[in-house]
Amino acid sequence: MPYLLVFFTFVLGLFTSLVQIPSISRLAVSIGILDEVDERKIHTGSIPRLGGIALFFSVLLATLLFGSMERDLRAYLAGGIIIFLTGLSDDLQALSPRQKFFGELVAATVAIVLGGQSLHSLGNLLGFGELSLGIFSLPFTVIALVGVINAVNLIDGLDGLAGGVTAIAAFGFLVLAGLYGNYNLMYITAALFGATLGFLKFNTHPAKIFMGDSGSLFLGYTLGFCAINLAVEGVGTVSPVIPLLVLALPIVDTIVVMAGRGRRGVRFFAPDTSHLHHRLLTLGISHRMVVAVLYVISYGFALAAIIFRMASDYLLFYGLLAILALGYVSLRILESIHAKRGALGILSLKLPHLKLYHNPGLRKIHTWLLRSAKYLLVAVFILTTFIPPVLKGEIGIIALFLLLFLGVMLRIRDDLYNRLPHFAIYFNGAFVIYLMQNYTSHVKLLGAPLLTVSDLVFGLLLLVVLLLAAIRANPSAVISTPLEYLIIFLVISVPLLPEPFRQQHDLLMVAGKSMILFVALKLVLKTRAPRNRKIILAALVSLLVIALRNLFSI
């Protein structure tokens, strides 16, 4: 049941975020809360910057509905309201750095004191014995939380960067909370993960909305609270270095930037272009690729935190220092080469397209493959209508929820190539794949096992996808936005989930088929969208049948 509730929490956070943002964007435009262009900004034009409202209320709603109102959750919500109002005040009427810092300090103190979340030790960080904080326990914990708040706030410099790094960290904390049985933290991180994924649909380059300080401060606060919650003494305690690993990118970037400003004799919070993302841009790397590279780095740190969670504190810490030193030296070498030879253009290269539309034979094959992929996708959804009732009400409620999700996404924009319906179809597809993979071992279709039929369909779909990708000869045909990189990272993280849970639910096969589904949908729905209504109709019908069958035993 906890895992089912965690799923509900994630979907509700995702759903409410997606639904709120268009209205909030229009509100921001109408009242003039826009991010204007200046010499430090990467974007062009005025962009609404109240996206943090959607992030806050999505996490708040999902957490209130599914979380257990124990001391730690009450403390999190109390501090979260304060930090959100601080950020919102800064978005509406710019606060001075001192006023904003005071709001951060109050929020952090309230959360730590009410929740009793003080760190009493840093563990055996240096290898010479435990480093006890003693009387500095409370102030150190508060300062640490304020530090994470500002780290996430300061990394919010490119479209999708802060949201994506937060989503990766939230997923890492979600896995760690599951491994250590910290259920309230699972609800918080699942809600945060869903809300940020929904926000990223509008925030990847070129962004249609920014989160503003109301969003970045709240995301930083939530990640900092989760890090401290995992590391305090009690159930589900991890080494203090593990949360540090998960949040290494924003924390280290902030420390390096602050140190540089200190050496130059400028204010710590004075804006400049010394952040890692600015330095990568100067090397000639494209905006989207810089974000993707930083996603990979964040993902690597989160992966290391999960895999090496049982290692000694000092081994983790020294390993982190070694990786950071190697990264810093590599960056300086690249900057030196750039200074001598000009823009490197690293990671900005594109593979050439085949002359698809200049080759009639190849064009016919491409059209036939697209049509085949479309009908195989329809078959994936239609096969799920043969799934017998399972778990009764729970599955029925999830199916109804996802049916509503897809319906609302279609109503927001009646455009079959709009990304919102596609986003919804993908998640609905992953859900029906899960049901097919886990609850049809005894079901037959025309004398053949239904699961075998499903495997055959996915095998053919994989073959068609590979042929389509080869013909197009361009990775951007499959992955074109940082959000899509992020989804792929998360799918391939399935082996990191708790082994009993992973094996019990056959999640490796679910992840593999979901990846095939994701790529196939991207290739098919991108082309001649008005002719692909059958896929959306099949998804709606399959969800409706699953809902009715499980709610009313039809």
**Closest C-alpha to 369, from 496, 469, 437:** 469
Tell me what pLDDT residue 282 has. Answer: 83
With a cut of 90, say whether residue 222 has pLDDT above it.
yes
Contact 47, 34 (CB under 8 A): yes
Select the more confidently predicted residue: 250 or 43. Answer: 250
**242 is a domain residue:** yes
Going through 264-377 in order, the beta strands assigned E by DSSP cover none
pLDDT in tens, 225-238: 999 999 885 555 78
| Structure confidence by residue, pLDDT tens digits, 250-296 | 999 888 888 877 777 777 666 667 788 888 888 878 888 888 889 88
**What value does the mean pLDDT take over residues 49-60?**
91
Query: Do residues 337 and 383 share a domain?
Result: no
Residue 350 lies in a domain: no
Query: Which H helix or E strand runs over 220?
Result: helix 212-231
Confidence check: pLDDT of 191 > 90: yes
State which amino acid sits at residue 506: D
| Contact (CB, 8 A) for 53 and 219 | no
Whether 361 and 480 share a structural domain:
yes
Residue, of 430 and 423, whose pLDDT is higher: 430
335 and 385 share one domain: no
pTM for the whole structure:
0.79
Looking at residue 414, what is its pLDDT? Answer: 43
Q: Are strands 448-449 and 444-445 parallel, antiparallel or unpaired?
A: antiparallel
Segment 297-313 shows an average pLDDT of 88
Q: How far, CA to CA in Å, does 258 sit from each of 42, 120, 261? A: 21, 26, 5
Number of domains in the chain: 2
Closest CA to 145 of 109, 178, 96: 109
313, 341, 369 - which closes a domain: 341
Query: In this structure, are residues 284 and 343 in contact, taking their beta carbons and an 8 Å threshold?
Result: yes
- Do 310 and 372 fall into the same domain? no
pLDDT at residue 300 greater than cutoff 70: yes
The two structure tokens encoding residue 361 = 């034979």
CA 386 to chain centre: 33
- Residue 25 to residue 316: CA distance in whole angstroms: 43
CA dist 190 and 422 (Å) reads 21
Q: Is residue 349 situated within a structural domain?
A: no
CA-wise closest residue to 417 among 516, 531, 520, 540: 531
Q: Which residues pair with residue 47 across a beta bridge? A: 35
Q: Domain residues for 386?
A: 356-552
Contact 510, 437 (CB under 8 A): yes
Long-range contacts of 357-365 (CB under 8 A, 24+ apart): 362/471, 365/471
Residues 427 and 533 in one domain: yes
Average pLDDT value for residue range 117-123: 85
Mean pLDDT of all residues in 420-440: 80
> What is the enclosing helix (H) or strand (E) of 48?
strand 47-48
In terms of domains, do 319 and 406 share one? no
> How many C-alpha atoms does 510 have within 13 Å on its Cβ side?
25
Q: What pLDDT score does 66 carry? A: 81
Domain assignment present for residue 539? The answer is yes
Q: Which amino acid is at 103?
A: G
Based on the domain organization, do 203 and 291 belong to the same domain? Answer: yes
Q: Which carries the bigger pLDDT value, residue 499 or residue 9?
A: 9
Higher model confidence: residue 521 or residue 471?
A: 521
Mean pLDDT across the chain: 81
Pair 310, 410 in one domain: no
Nearest to 238, CA basis, from 223, 251, 252, 228: 228
Instruction: Kindly state whether residues 366 and 337 are assigned to the same domain.
Output: no
- Nearest Cα neighbor of 42 from 148, 210, 129, 159 is 159
Tell me the per-residue pLDDT of 359-409, one tens digit each, with 9 for 90 and over: 676 778 878 888 898 899 999 999 988 888 775 567 788 788 788 877 777
Residues 315, 365 within the same domain: no
Percent share of the chain, pLDDT over 70: 82
* CA separation for the pair 483, 522 (Å, rounded): 13
For residue 132, give both structure tokens: 């006890």
Number of neighbours of residue 336 by Cβ within 10 angstroms: 10
Domain-located, residue 347: no
**What is the spatial distance between Cα 273 and Cα 265, in angstroms, rounded to a whole number?**
16
Q: Is the dihedral of CA 496, 502, 503, 509 positive or negative?
A: negative
The rounded distance, in Å, linking the Cα atoms of 219 and 217 is 6
Residue 271 domain flag: yes
Domain end among 310, 341, 372? 341
Instruction: Say what the pLDDT of residue 350 is.
Output: 45
What pLDDT is attached to residue 228?
93
Structure confidence at residue 343 (pLDDT): 52
The DSSP letter of residue 356 is G
Sign of CA dihedral 538, 544, 550, 554: negative
Same domain, 406 and 548: yes
Each residue of 367-405: b (16+ CB within 10 Å) or e? eebbebbbbbbbbbbbbbebbebeeeeebbbbbbbbbeb
For 35, the enclosing helix (H) or strand (E) is strand 34-35
pLDDT score, position 303? 86
DSSP letter (8 states) at residue 198:
H
Q: Which of 119-133, 173-187, 462-476, 531-545 has the lowest mean pLDDT?
A: 462-476
User: What is the torsional sign of CA 88, 93, 96, 102?
Assistant: negative
Sign of CA dihedral 242, 244, 246, 248: negative
Q: How far is CA 91 from CA 37, 146, 217, 226, 259, in A?
A: 15, 19, 11, 25, 27
Report whether pLDDT(216) > 50: yes
Assigned domain for 489 exists: yes
290 inside domain: yes
Does 344 score more than 60 pLDDT?
no
Residue 49 to residue 66: CA distance in whole angstroms: 29
DSSP string, 132-190: B-GGGHHHHHHHHHHHHHHHHHHHTTSTTHHHHHHHHHHHHHHHHHHHTT-HHHHHHHH
Q: Which of 311, 341, 371 is the last residue of a domain?
A: 341
Residues 48 and 129 reside in one and the same domain? yes
